[in-house]
Amino acid sequence: MIRKLPEELVRAIAAGEVVTRPEDAVKELVENALDAGAGELEVVLEDGGIRRILVRDDGAGIPKEELPLALERHATSKLSRLDRIESLGFRGEGLFALRQAGRLRLTSRPRDQLGGATVIAEGDRIEYFEHAAPAGTEAELTRLFDRLPARRAALLGPELEGRRALARAARYLLHHPGVRFTLRLDGEVRIRHPGGDFLTAAQAVWGGLVADRLFPLEAASGPYRLRGVLSKPELARPRRDRLLLAVNGRPVEWPEPLYRALLRAYRELLPTGQNPVGVLNLELPPERVLVNTDPRKDRVELLEAEAVAEFLAEAVASALAEHPLAAPLPAPEPAAGPAPVAGRLPRLRYLGRFRELYLLAEAEGNLYVVDQHAAHERVIFEELLRRYRDEPPMELSEPLILALAPEEEAAVAERREAFGEAGLELEPFGAGRWRVRRVPGVLALAPEALVDAVRGLLRGEELEAALRRVLGRLACLPAIKAGHPLSGAGAQALLDALAACQVPWVCPHGRPTLLVLSEAELARRFGRRSVRQQVARPSGEVGQGADPPVAEADELAGEEAGVGGVELEEERAAGPEGD
């Protein structure tokens, strides 16, 4: 039989749509503060926000006669038209849902009002009284889900819930860097931001090592404006978790056309499967943005998606062009004596170079084309891997201090065993800061790679995968680039070193180091009936139209190699996989 649901059940369902855990409550209260024009904002969490959440701001405040109404369902001052949403909150359900989920105390006073007021609500019960109060608003939520035991049981525990709630608050800090933010967890200040620009906000949340590898970006075209920071190609991640976008101040998921446009702007500067780190604020006319009206409000549809994507791609590409992104480094020294052969790759004899990038070599009747950058990467990578396995961990001569985000800090204890296996030892060094005490010897002089390894393990990356990824990046930096000159002896030394590798066929990133073409295949393509037989001839006997003897061909090949081929256009290293 169809019947109307009881009002109490309707209210519980409404609360569950908006608030499922402490981070949802933090989101609603922080958005209210920002919508009120707060210049200073404080978030306090106790027991991960399960026992208490407090958000205090110096915004416009709520008039005392409207304070009880603010806690009613679908009551808001922010929305008049759904096709022109200009505030973060607009549904009028946030405070109503919070009073259904726990005990909500709301104190507020506009600056021009004499005295403030407080309303306390829990379910249907409401208390109201007037008193002196500072300008602004203070919202406190306690007893979260005490009356909803199933939801209380579904919470992850204080540590994980606190980590998620802090991360949610920090997201708003990153997109609103001009606001002074203080984030406290169990009496300890975890993040304090005195207000500033996007770089200072990124430093407050992600630490100085990350912030130092970001560059500012600002562009405008007609009604579109883009501001924020992005990372140089040297700082990239396989996930998008630190590539953040806000549209008109609202943190949102990346619309796919905009995400593709961003990667298109980086082009070959980023390896496939990697994402830059950054915070971007995109400002568009409100009437050209459709916001999803579900409680999360984190998805938008752009009415001019193609034009906006083109604007974003051009803005990012122009910003990247203003920054130096790579520098060539020396070639390897020739090896002393012939290198041993491993991995079933025969010893290659150097013939010459093409386009100052590809080495031409022969072995066992086959022609090899070797990518000098990929080959050198493989050689350096295997040497780094050998050093990692042979050299004992060592203590750093100078301390390396990491500023860890809340979610990373909680992962330190969870992954302690993986850190030990990797030869890493971390110890607390104050609020949100950890000291790297012991490291693998091979990483001791590479602090950026060391930080990359630590953060990879904190993300849950497997030790082997993290190690290979970090050593692969280290191998790329000194590997010879396209256009770097190599002597004949240097080229032969590189070929010998490649033949000695355990896995000579691919670079650390999976790209091939060499291609092979058999003489039989060459003969077939040139329409010859058989392969050429090497016949000894007296010196100087070369008939008209006949092939030169092998020795003379070698001489010609050497002269050709000395020319250096066609002049190569200047190329930029492709991030950690630059050619």
pLDDT at 256 over 80: yes
Residue 259 exposure: Cα atoms within 13 Å on the Cβ side: 15
Same domain, 181 and 211: no
Contact call for residues 244 and 278 (beta carbons, < 8 A): yes
CA proximity to 165, closest of 247, 51, 86: 51
> What proportion of the chain, given as a percentage, has pLDDT over 90?
37
Last residue of a domain, one of 275, 296, 321: 321
Total structural domains within the chain: 3
Looking at residue 267, its pLDDT comes to: 66
pLDDT at 198 over 80: yes
Looking at residue 83, its pLDDT comes to: 58
The band of 576, judged by pLDDT with boundaries at 50, 70 and 90, is very low
Looking at residue 74, its pLDDT comes to: 62
Looking at residue 336, its pLDDT comes to: 38
User: Which position has the higher pLDDT, 4 or 497?
Assistant: 497
Looking at residue 396, its pLDDT comes to: 75
Task: Assess if residue 521 is contained within a domain.
Answer: yes
Same domain, 279 and 262: yes
Looking at residue 211, its pLDDT comes to: 92
pLDDT in tens, 337-376: 333 333 368 899 999 989 888 999 999 888 899 999 999 9
Residue with tokens 């709630």: 165
Same domain, 247 and 279: yes
The CATH number of residue 432's host domain is 3.30.1540.20
Nearest-Å Rg of the Cα atoms of the chain is 31
Looking at residue 406, its pLDDT comes to: 79
Task: Assess if residue 92 is contained within a domain.
Answer: yes
The CATH number of residue 270's host domain is 3.30.230.10
Same domain, 28 and 161: yes
Residue with tokens 């010897």: 441
Task: Assess if residue 561 is contained within a domain.
Answer: no
Task: Assess if residue 2 is contained within a domain.
Answer: no
Task: Assess if residue 541 is contained within a domain.
Answer: no
pLDDT at 55 over 90: yes
Looking at residue 93, its pLDDT comes to: 75
Looking at residue 544, its pLDDT comes to: 33
Looking at residue 19, its pLDDT comes to: 85
What contacts 218, CB < 8 A, 6 or more positions away?
Answer: 226, 227
Domain of residue 457 covers 328-533
Q: Supply the mean pLDDT for the chain.
A: 79
User: Which position has the higher pLDDT, 80 or 24?
Assistant: 24
Mean pLDDT of 298-319: 90
Task: Assess if residue 22 is contained within a domain.
Answer: yes
Last residue of a domain, one of 132, 166, 196: 196
pLDDT in tens, 422-457: 787 788 887 878 888 778 877 777 767 777 777 777
The band of 246, judged by pLDDT with boundaries at 50, 70 and 90, is very high
pLDDT in tens, 530-552: 666 654 444 333 333 333 333 33
Task: Assess if residue 573 is contained within a domain.
Answer: no
Task: Assess if residue 520 is contained within a domain.
Answer: yes
The structure tokens listed for 196 are: 């500033």
3-state secondary structure of 226: strand
Cβ atoms within 10 Å of 152's Cβ, excluding its own: 14
Say which range, 201-210, 328-337, 492-501, has the weakest mean pLDDT.
328-337
Looking at residue 230, its pLDDT comes to: 96
Same domain, 436 and 477: yes
* Alpha-carbon span 233 to 277, nearest angstrom: 9
Rounded to 5 degrees, what are φ and ψ at 76? -155, 155
Classify residue 512 by its DSSP letter.
B
The band of 213, judged by pLDDT with boundaries at 50, 70 and 90, is confident
* Alpha-carbon span 105 to 99, nearest angstrom: 9
Same domain, 163 and 214: no
Mean pLDDT of 229-252: 90
Same domain, 414 and 519: yes
Looking at residue 421, its pLDDT comes to: 78
The band of 328, judged by pLDDT with boundaries at 50, 70 and 90, is very low
Last residue of a domain, one of 196, 227, 257: 196
The band of 568, judged by pLDDT with boundaries at 50, 70 and 90, is very low
The band of 78, judged by pLDDT with boundaries at 50, 70 and 90, is low
The CATH number of residue 159's host domain is 3.30.565.10
Say which range, 182-196, 245-259, 337-351, 430-444, has the weakest mean pLDDT.
337-351
Q: Which neighbouring-strand residues pair with 296?
A: none
Looking at residue 332, its pLDDT comes to: 39
Say which range, 212-216, 301-305, 561-565, has the weakest mean pLDDT.
561-565
pLDDT in tens, 394-418: 887 777 888 877 777 778 777 777 7
User: Which position has the higher pLDDT, 290 or 174?
Assistant: 174
Same domain, 274 and 333: no
Residue with tokens 């249907």: 124
Looking at residue 75, its pLDDT comes to: 61
Q: Which neighbouring-strand residues pair with 436?
A: 400, 426
User: Which position has the higher pLDDT, 182 or 289?
Assistant: 182
User: Which position has the higher pLDDT, 573 or 87?
Assistant: 87
Tell which phi-psi region holds residue 143, choosing left (phi > 0), alpha (psi between -120 and 50) or beta: left
Looking at residue 81, its pLDDT comes to: 56
The band of 388, judged by pLDDT with boundaries at 50, 70 and 90, is confident
Same domain, 166 and 266: no
Same domain, 95 and 171: yes
